[in-house]
Amino acid sequence: MIERVPNGLLVVLSGPSGAGKGSICKLLTQDQGDISVSVSVTTRPPRQGEEEGVHYFFHSLEEFQAMLNRNEFLEHAKVHGNNYGTPRKAVEKELAAGRDVLLEIDVKGAMQVKENFPGCVMIFILPPDMAELERRIVGRASDSPETVEKRMKNAEGEIARWPDYDYVILNDKLPLAVQKTRAVIAAEKCRVDRNQGFYKQFCKEENTL
């Protein structure tokens, strides 16, 4: 029997705000030890209860800038004046240990990851329909009608980027969407192009080819 400890997969879960990426992430990691959510670096100060290395890596602006200069982010963005970034090293460490890493991220960030990390699995989470998306966005916070409209406009623009992904999962029933996401991860591990090393090993160890 050939023993394999293959690398984990970097799984990008993206889609418009309100599509349900967060819920899928939560359920995916809840009862599986071999999959974790990427922890971002941020320059914003920790809120109460937030732990270093669990919720975020809290860095000074200088540290963040230094990492940026060393090209240490898979993606980064500035939101409300604070910097956020996905640290490549932390992700690669998990992958090398055979654990999958989930990255829940907006479309802009996802496109950066796609460019910086060939081999990542790009999944687009879609709301059941735009009406339901609006209900979720309205229900989420006490936003003004203008803000809701802006979010909807933004969501439409994001949905238009769907063809840039590998997979699209319609989140009309959450357990089903989670199941499909699990299937995508399991299937990707069986892809021939991800098993070149295993192929060589199989042929060599068996001394058949």
Burial degree of 145 (CB within 10 A; 0-12, 13-18, 19+): exposed
Determine if 1 is a binding residue for its own copies (CB under 8 A): yes
Q: Which is nearer to its own copies, 54 or 209 (CB)?
A: 209
Give me the least distance between CB of 85 and its own copies, in Å please.
Answer: 27
Structure tokens at 159: 């949905």
Determine if 57 is a binding residue for its own copies (CB under 8 A): no
Q: Which is nearer to its own copies, 80 or 191 (CB)?
A: 191
Give me the least distance between CB of 184 and its own copies, in Å please.
Answer: 4
Determine if 191 is a binding residue for its own copies (CB under 8 A): yes
- 58 phi and psi, to 5 degrees? -90, 115
Give me the least distance between CB of 156 and its own copies, in Å please.
Answer: 5
Determine if 167 is a binding residue for its own copies (CB under 8 A): yes
Residue 69, amino acid: N
- The length of the chain in residues reads 209
Taking CB under 8 A as the criterion, the residue among 6, 82, 179, 197 binding its own copies is 179
Q: Which helix (H) or strand (E) holds 9?
A: none
Cβ(119)–Cβ(101) under 8 Å? no
Distance CA 140, CA 9 (A): 31
Determine if 156 is a binding residue for its own copies (CB under 8 A): yes
Determine if 32 is a binding residue for its own copies (CB under 8 A): no
Query: What residues pair up with 35 in beta bridges, in sequence order?
Result: 100
Q: What angle do CA 138, 140, 145 make, to 5 degrees?
A: 30
Taking CB under 8 A as the criterion, the residue among 61, 186, 197, 204 binding its own copies is 186
Per-residue binding string, its own copies, 102-141, x by CB under 8 A, is ---------------------xx-x-xxxx----------
Q: Which is nearer to its own copies, 109 or 127 (CB)?
A: 127
Burial 98-128 (b: 16+ CB within 10 A, else e): ebbbbbbbbbebbbbbbeebeebbbbbbbbe
Determine if 202 is a binding residue for its own copies (CB under 8 A): yes
Structure tokens at 8: 């984990």
Residues that bind its own copies (CB under 8 A): 1-2, 123-124, 126, 128-131, 156, 159-160, 162-163, 165-169, 172, 179-180, 182-184, 186-188, 190-192, 195, 198-199, 202-203, 205-206, 208-209
